[in-house]
Chains A and B, each alone.
Chain A
């Protein structure tokens, strides 16, 4: 392998933003037919480096070489001309257009007089889809596809530009296990076709399985570039977090459970869930496990009054409660941390203080006059308490990393002192260090006697922190496990009940 010249090489890249040095002296290279993974915690500089690769940002120092020749990537379209394609973490597709239209968006095949050649477009789309071995009708409207099918369309869109290098930014972040396996096969196929692949992911097992080499970033610098063979997950983690924080994880804490805080009694919603009954006591963390489509999110939203129910009751502190809106639920002490924190948890354009105070505005004012001192004090208390990394309280929420954003959402409810906390995927897309911190703070809430309902895509995380796990399958509760009965196998079996 040594003598193969890299098709993409970054030398001594540095990038500074006002007040922040996002990248310092980063070098990275990629050979044809290689998967080179890029790992690091949120905020390590991965996104900045990717933006430099696809022309969205220009480095202050350093050079980019493509096929050994220096290139200036001044915009994403120039990067595409240099045959560098990027697949973004968040899908940037039009759900109202067909698969083929999405794949060729802006590069539609044309006939004379600039007329759109639909036949050629659909044919080429089919070729691309065939090439990576998936069967999707190119005429289908994108919005009707599942998330991983859309992800694959996004990859086809990148392939349609005939790239030599393809950058995959967390392609598996929102996929379930089966879908991940499928996607990894697609990546292997591309590699076999001789493409160079830059692969960014938080899921270290898949990084180890897939890549030839791994570059670890920390605080904007390269810690090391290693061959994936012989690497282990713990080793990678220690590179990523540094010595001081290696082994960071939230250990389960024994707690005494108090009275019943939340009870669902035969709760049903047509087409979503049926006859859901369970109790959550003070100081208890109850996990709800299940596959995608088991509709546990709908149950969470019902507890929070964000969706209506047909039958059954919700009891808060053993009193039946009726919620017309989340406002009613919040008044009774329910908090909800949505999985989609960017679209549901935060107002990205608002600053940290405003976001953190969203659920507490009533008590932060006197006669409707906002007491800015109190808002600031509350926000800075939350920032300290949850060790959120911010440059100032007037920083916009959009500028924070995923982990820090999630902490703001948690902080919002800590300020509210909600007694019942429903957390949907609180660690989604968050790095390992922040994961431990988030579980620590959620456990701390339980330690204080709050009742928690959590649901995560990764069962392991729930096995680690929950007192009890309920399993949902197709809208029904199909199993209940006490902590001493926890085993991934038996719980997973109930997924299919």
Chain B
């Protein structure tokens, strides 16, 4: 007679006598199995749906005010503008799900691209782009080790990394911008297309898919949420919490490098003083996406929608001719309005 959970144990399972006896008792008692409903909702969570609703509303308003709003050209503008920050928000969301924070993203993005810029003279695109990505990865791993192994709070260690990386970028470059125009492969990240889609948008989509896979479909995702939800319980269940944290910081570092690559290629030069205050913008998108800084909650899908909301708002305000500073006020207010109702519910949940 096949026993419950036999199937899970492959060939190693030897017997289940005790529970055979128990199962019989429960059958008599008429205990009803209650596992019929799926363990995960097939649709995004309610919070995500409300964000989607906000996005649809904004798009509708945009199309109503400016008939060209939904044109391919304008969509291209919107998406290209948010690709970098969106990719960063994916990495940040995963860090925040584990209950940590990465304030170093701007520094990592700058230092990685500057390191790439130093190699422009070699003329090897492989070397340059490889160096940018590797630098992001290494800085991310250092962040992760400081947090998970050394035990420094991520708020402090990544703040230090932000300062150090930003300063190193200036030291290495002598404060001078580098110009990668001649490296076509580098420029491709900002200005090229794949199948007619601009590369920043394609990368944004690709990173979204990777992150959605990692958080929703990979066993890694379960470890991520368990680590953020209750690190001690996760550790006592055999999840190597330190490795999970190092992995997300490393991933966030790579996201920063990719975003830096996209942005400097779009601008056409590598600026050691680029992206001031970027970490807070990324954090804003992350929070708008529904991630709680306490850890354990948040979704990449939410971050994706949040990035789009920010892109649509900025685009609309641009078209209305609203000043740069007023745009920041409006964006901040939208974040407050969207985030507030979610917080009310959270208040009573431990």
* B is bound to A: yes
Query: Are A393 and B39 touching (Cβ within 8 A)?
Result: yes
B26 nearest CB neighbor, chain A only: A387
- Rounded to whole angstroms, the CA-CA distance of A448 and B29 in the bound complex is 23
Query: Are B5 and A348 touching (Cβ within 8 A)?
Result: no
A21 touches B (CB below 8 Å): no
Q: Chain B residues with Cβ under 8 A from A338's Cβ?
A: 236
Query: Are A369 and B218 touching (Cβ within 8 A)?
Result: yes
Query: Are B37 and A393 touching (Cβ within 8 A)?
Result: yes
Q: Chain B residues with Cβ under 8 A from A359's Cβ?
A: 237-238
Query: Distance in Å from the Cβ of B291 to the closest Cβ of chain A?
Result: 13
Contact of B230 among A347, A374, A379 (CB under 8 A): A347
Query: Distance in Å from the Cβ of A366 to the closest Cβ of chain B?
Result: 9
Contact of B5 among A306, A353, A381, A392 (CB under 8 A): A381
Query: Are A348 and B350 touching (Cβ within 8 A)?
Result: yes
With A358-B226, A447-B17 as contacts: A385 and B23 at CB distance below 8 Å: yes
Query: Distance in Å from the Cβ of A341 to the closest Cβ of chain B?
Result: 9
B225 touches A (CB below 8 Å): yes
B41 touches A (CB below 8 Å): yes
A327 touches B (CB below 8 Å): yes
Q: Chain A residues with Cβ under 8 A from B317's Cβ?
A: none
Query: Are B220 and A349 touching (Cβ within 8 A)?
Result: no
Query: Are B217 and A369 touching (Cβ within 8 A)?
Result: yes
Q: Chain A residues with Cβ under 8 A from B233's Cβ?
A: 343-347, 358
With A347-B229, A348-B230, A445-B18 as contacts: A306 and B236 at CB distance below 8 Å: yes
Q: Interface code B1-13, partner A: CB below 8 Å = 1, 0 otherwise? A: 0001101111011
Q: Interface code B192-231, partner A: CB below 8 Å = 1, 0 otherwise? A: 0000000000000000000000000111111101100110
Q: Chain A residues with Cβ under 8 A from B126's Cβ?
A: none
Query: Are B222 and A384 touching (Cβ within 8 A)?
Result: no
Contact of A361 among B19, B29, B239 (CB under 8 A): B239
Q: Chain B residues with Cβ under 8 A from A349's Cβ?
A: 229-230, 296-297, 349
B15 touches A (CB below 8 Å): yes
Q: Interface code A245-257, partner B: CB below 8 Å = 1, 0 otherwise? A: 0000000000000
Q: Chain A residues with Cβ under 8 A from B37's Cβ?
A: 392-394
Contact of B236 among A304, A372, A398 (CB under 8 A): A304
Contact of A383 among B21, B34, B41, B219 (CB under 8 A): B34
B4 nearest CB neighbor, chain A only: A381
Contact of A326 among B9, B35, B238 (CB under 8 A): B238
With A344-B233, A347-B230, A359-B238 as contacts: A368 and B39 at CB distance below 8 Å: no
Query: Distance in Å from the Cβ of B94 to the closest Cβ of chain A?
Result: 15
B240 touches A (CB below 8 Å): yes
Q: Name the interface size band of chain B.
A: 35 or more
Q: Chain A residues with Cβ under 8 A from B7's Cβ?
A: 377
- Rounded to whole angstroms, the CA-CA distance of A397 and B125 in the bound complex is 51
- Rounded to whole angstroms, the CA-CA distance of A325 and B236 in the bound complex is 9
Query: Are A326 and B235 touching (Cβ within 8 A)?
Result: yes
- Rounded to whole angstroms, the CA-CA distance of A336 and B237 in the bound complex is 8
With A347-B296, A363-B8, A370-B217 as contacts: A446 and B350 at CB distance below 8 Å: no
A477 touches B (CB below 8 Å): no
Among A348-363, those with CB < 8 Å from B are 348-354, 357-363
Q: Interface code A240-266, partner B: CB below 8 Å = 1, 0 otherwise? A: 000000000000000000000000000
Query: Distance in Å from the Cβ of B346 to the closest Cβ of chain A?
Result: 10
- Rounded to whole angstroms, the CA-CA distance of A443 and B38 in the bound complex is 31
With A304-B236, A447-B18 as contacts: A417 and B217 at CB distance below 8 Å: no
Query: Distance in Å from the Cβ of B280 to the closest Cβ of chain A?
Result: 26
Query: Are B229 and A365 touching (Cβ within 8 A)?
Result: no
Query: Distance in Å from the Cβ of A339 to the closest Cβ of chain B?
Result: 12
Pull 21 A–B residue pairs with CB atoms less than 8 Å apart, ordered by A. Answer: A326-B238, A336-B236, A338-B236, A343-B232, A347-B230, A349-B296, A351-B39, A353-B39, A361-B219, A363-B10, A370-B221, A372-B39, A375-B39, A380-B33, A380-B34, A384-B31, A393-B35, A394-B41, A417-B8, A417-B13, A444-B22
Q: A393-B35, A398-B349 are in contact. List 10 more A-B contacts (CB 8 A).
A: A330-B237, A349-B349, A354-B39, A368-B220, A369-B219, A376-B35, A378-B8, A381-B35, A384-B23, A398-B350
Chain A residues engaging chain B, CB cutoff 8 angstroms: 304, 306, 325-327, 330-331, 336, 338, 343-354, 357-365, 368-370, 372, 374-385, 387, 390-394, 398, 412, 414-415, 417, 440-441, 443-449
The 10 closest A-B pairs by CB, nearest first: A380-B35, A444-B18, A447-B18, A347-B229, A353-B39, A330-B238, A358-B237, A365-B219, A381-B4, A347-B230
